Amino acid sequence: MTVTIFVVSLLAAMALGMPIAFALLASGIVMMLAMGQFDPQILAQNLVGGADSFPLLAVPFFMLAGEVMTAGGLSRRIVALAVALCGHFRGGLGYVAIAAAVLMASMSGSAVADTAAIGAILIPMMRQGGYQLGRASGLIASGGIIAPMMPLSIPFIVFGVTSGVSIGKLFVAGIVPGLLMAVALVVAWWFVARNEQVEPMPRASLREALRAFVDGFWALLVPVIVLGGIKAGVFTPTEAAVVAAVYSLFISMVVYRELKPSQLYGVFLAAGKMTAVVMFLVAAAGVSAWLITIADLPMMVADLLQPFVDSKILLMLIIMLIVVAVGTALDLLPTILILTPVLMPIVKQAGIDPVYFGVLFILNNAIGLITPPVGTVLNVISGVAKIPLDETIRGAIPFLIAHLLLLLLLTLFPALVMVPMRWFL
């Protein structure tokens, strides 16, 4: 009954057009009233407590770093390097989009930001080159969701705070699955781009490639500094966010000199707005998480999934199917905040490694960003490309299938995640 009240009230609030954070608060209040435990003071305490976490300080600084990289020319230089390396292949701008997505993913941690930045640069080039825009937009959107899987991932930070799993281990464990997403996209693009009637770009000379590398060298150092510092124990993931933001500011203003002091207010304001959205969502989810625990929902879910606890792979397959279904209706962060406290107890009971589960859980939620009808990233790239959403959805289908097949592969073979993680650590 409690589950029904929570789900119905949440869906009803969303159907009325409430933002997801307010919908979570509304469903929390309905649950408190149904349980006879409504108390405004407890509501306020859990609202504040939901966002009162030191690791969450990484969110505003990673947001700031992403905004600075776009405004300061770092993103443009990354794309230029990718063009120099693989723009000359048949369908070369598609491979450029994938390469740029991997490089950008290790610098910003936001699928929406990466998709918008890469799309703004590559879509005009692809339009001029005669590429089918729906397919090109679908590819860029599918590459953008690599960001949640790579170090600096904001979803990993939120999952780590919500579940108590080491954020540093999540960062490291996500590297190989993130690269495998890129490989899956390369295979899918090779398959669908064979019929693209476009002229390949001229091959860049060795001098041009070296010039592009040197020009983008300082931008490429961002993931090296962050990952190297975390692995060496120099700073925590939260402190790494500060390092990334300060380093990006320095490079943009002093080395590249593209970010002017007069632009700083706009950059900080944009980062602040995005941070406010994320943090209020986390705070609202803190109320729901507390009520989910009080209502003993994890035990109810555990009872439903109890027959599958003895088979880790079967349990993971069922959980992944549930998350895929939820991801079609909910955005990435709300899904993490709602499902993590429900699923983690059963995952631990089954003896599944929490880091491994976290990686597949975030991968699954990232795929939800390109899954209709919600598909946040699909909406972003449709706006950038100025094409109908249904055209983008059709173009993204081959790449969505590639990501789902990779998710199935990682579910069936956990060693693909765990062995590289142990090697890195």
Per-residue 3-state assignment (H helix, E strand, C coil) for 58-86: HHHHHHHHHHHHHHCCHHHHHHHHHHHHH
How many CB atoms within 10 Å of residue 130?
A: 11
The string of pLDDT tens digits covering residues 151-197 is 878 899 889 988 889 888 998 899 999 999 999 999 999 988 877 66
**Apex CA 184: angle with CA 179 and CA 186, to 5°?**
95
The conformation of residue 251, written as its DSSP 8-state character, comes to: I
Which three-class secondary structure state does DSSP give residue 30? helix
Looking at residue 405, its pLDDT comes to 96
The string of pLDDT tens digits covering residues 302-359 is 777 778 878 889 999 999 998 888 887 677 888 888 888 888 888 988 899 999 999 9
Rounded CA-CA distance 73/62 in Å is 17
The string of pLDDT tens digits covering residues 288-302 is 777 776 766 667 777
How many CB atoms within 10 Å of residue 309?
A: 16
Looking at residue 130, its pLDDT comes to 80
Asked whether the beta carbons of 337 and 162 are under 8 A apart, the reply is yes
Q: Mean of the pLDDT values across residues 263-284?
A: 84
Of the candidates 6, 62, 50, the residue with the CA atom closest to the CA atom of residue 29: 6
pLDDT more than 90, % of the chain: 22
Token pair for 3: 């589950």
Q: How far is CA 21 from CA 24, 144, 293, 337, in A?
A: 5, 24, 19, 11
pLDDT band at 2 (very low <50, low <70, confident <90, very high): low
Rounded CA-CA distance 107/252 in Å is 14
| Better pLDDT: 15 or 354 | 354
Helices (H), 72-174: 74-86, 92-108, 111-129, 133-144, 154-163, 167-173
Which range has the worst mean pLDDT, 58-62, 126-130, 282-286?
Answer: 282-286
Looking at residue 23, its pLDDT comes to 80
Looking at residue 149, its pLDDT comes to 92
Token pair for 129: 């080159």
Residue 142 has pLDDT above 80, yes or no: yes
Element (H, E) at 3: helix 2-15
Looking at residue 196, its pLDDT comes to 66
pLDDT band at 215 (very low <50, low <70, confident <90, very high): confident
- Is 316 exposed, middle or buried (CB count within 10 Å of its CB: 0-12, 13-18, 19+)? buried
Of the candidates 313, 317, 395, 420, the residue with the CA atom closest to the CA atom of residue 143: 395
Residue 420 has pLDDT above 80, yes or no: yes
CA 411 vs. chain centroid, Å, equals 19
| Most confident segment among 210-219, 320-329, 361-370 | 361-370
Looking at residue 314, its pLDDT comes to 92
Across the chain, mean pLDDT equals: 84
